[in-house]
Amino acid sequence: MVPYEDAEDVKAKALRYPLPAGLATPVPMAQLREMAMLRKDVLHPIGWRQTEETDDLLPDFLRMASGALREVTDFASRWGPLWLCAAHANCALAGDGLGAACVWSPLEPIAAWRREAQAAKTVLEVAARLNVEAVPCEVWQRLDMDREQYERMKLEGDRRQQAQLLAGLVQARLDGPWRPRVCLSSSVGNDAGDAVSTMLVLDTGLGFRSAVWHQIAQLLCRLDEVYICDGCSRPYQRGIRKPRPDQDNFCPNCRKDGKAAKRLWAQRERGRLRTRDLASEDARPAQAE
């Protein structure tokens, strides 16, 4: 983590990644696959590792929406960069694909990580709420939709249009420079009589970001069952009755002993007491010197 100044000269924090010697920055997106295919003796000494197990990927990513700086750093150390295009705000609309205009910078602002995690969490929240009701504008605004756009699209109270919009927002994430693709592979065993083994593999591209949005897309395919656990932040399929919109809901693991509900209540109580104490301090009269 290093100091960083954004486009408006506001001081912030960013993650900086080590690169192989001789690789100029910013790196054209088309060269990133070549970098990923470098020998391990080139990548391992500077800290790069390959990760294939993704069971905890989505819940870990969702926690960063409100996590501390250290949580972002720990996540990036395990899963690698966001690989966001530094040339376009939305590569899906840029029309360059993996052309020369799309580049990656090894300096990624922490704010970009939080925006992406918050977008993922909000998409799943919208999906869960659409099970029972239309979603108000205040929630859609977290996805960079302003009131005028919301009213122009006539989304107020229209669950059908909102569901279509939600699918389009996720599709835009999937259509980025590292869009998932289906690959066919075949192999033959070492013995002469072995049959040909052929299988379809879903390649989500370089990095974890496409894998995150592909997992979200899979959850949306079962939209009527998707909920976010208030205890562990994991998305889950709910087999029992739907929770009321004004109540907390918990996955089966968090419901087992009731500890998650008690822990969540304790966190809210501490926050309420801190808010009360701060309000009391502000209300105290100033002391004359």
Per-residue pLDDT tens digits for 95-154: 555 455 788 888 898 888 998 999 999 999 898 888 778 999 999 999 888 888 888 888
- Given a contact cutoff of 8 angstroms between Cβ atoms, the answer to whether 104 and 30 are in contact is no
Half-sphere exposure at residue 111, Cβ-oriented, CA atoms within 13 angstroms: 9
Q: How far apart are CA 276 and CA 256, in angstroms?
A: 33
- 3-state secondary structure string, 218-244? HHHCCHHHEEECCCCCCEEECCCCCCC
pLDDT at 201 over 80: no
Copy the structure tokens of residue 222: 């079962």
Reported confidence tier of residue 245, pLDDT bands at 50, 70, 90: low
Per-residue pLDDT averaged across 239-266, rounded? Answer: 67
The pLDDT of residue 260: 67
- The C-alpha angle 149, 150, 156, rounded to 5 degrees, equals 155
* 16: enclosing H helix or E strand: strand 11-16
Q: How far apart are CA 274 and CA 281, in angstroms?
A: 11
The pLDDT of residue 151: 87
pLDDT at 269 over 60: yes
Q: Give the range with max mean pLDDT: 2-6, 174-178, 232-236.
A: 2-6
The pLDDT of residue 166: 92
Rounded to 10 degrees, what is the CA torsion of 81, 86, 88, 92? Answer: -20
pLDDT at 50 over 50: yes
pLDDT at 233 over 60: yes
Rounded to 10 degrees, what is the CA torsion of 220, 222, 227, 232? Answer: -80
Per-residue pLDDT averaged across 44-60, rounded? Answer: 81
The pLDDT of residue 289: 42
Half-sphere exposure at residue 272, Cβ-oriented, CA atoms within 13 angstroms: 6
pLDDT at 36 over 90: no
Rounded to 10 degrees, what is the CA torsion of 236, 238, 242, 245? Answer: -10
pLDDT at 194 over 60: yes
The pLDDT of residue 175: 76
Task: Please say whether the dihedral angle defined by the alpha carbons of residues 37, 41, 45 and 50, taken in this order, is positive or negative.
Answer: positive
pLDDT at 189 over 90: no
- pLDDT, the chain, mean: 78
Q: How far apart are CA 88 and CA 175, in angstroms?
A: 14
The pLDDT of residue 29: 77
Per-residue pLDDT averaged across 180-190, rounded? Answer: 79
pLDDT at 226 over 70: no
- The phi, psi pair for 44, rounded to 5°, reads -65, -40
- Given a contact cutoff of 8 angstroms between Cβ atoms, the answer to whether 116 and 208 are in contact is no
Q: How far apart are CA 273 and CA 265, in angstroms?
A: 12
Per-residue pLDDT tens digits for 12-35: 888 998 888 877 788 887 777 677
Per-residue pLDDT averaged across 253-262, rounded? Answer: 70
Q: Give the range with max mean pLDDT: 36-40, 50-54, 151-155, 204-208.
A: 151-155
Strands of 59-180, DSSP E: 103-104, 107-109
Q: Picking from 46-50, 184-188, 264-268, which range would have the lowest pLDDT averaged per residue? A: 264-268
Residue 286 per-residue DSSP state: P
- Rounded to 10°, the helix 110-129/209-220 angle is 10
Cβ count near 46 (within 10 Å): 11
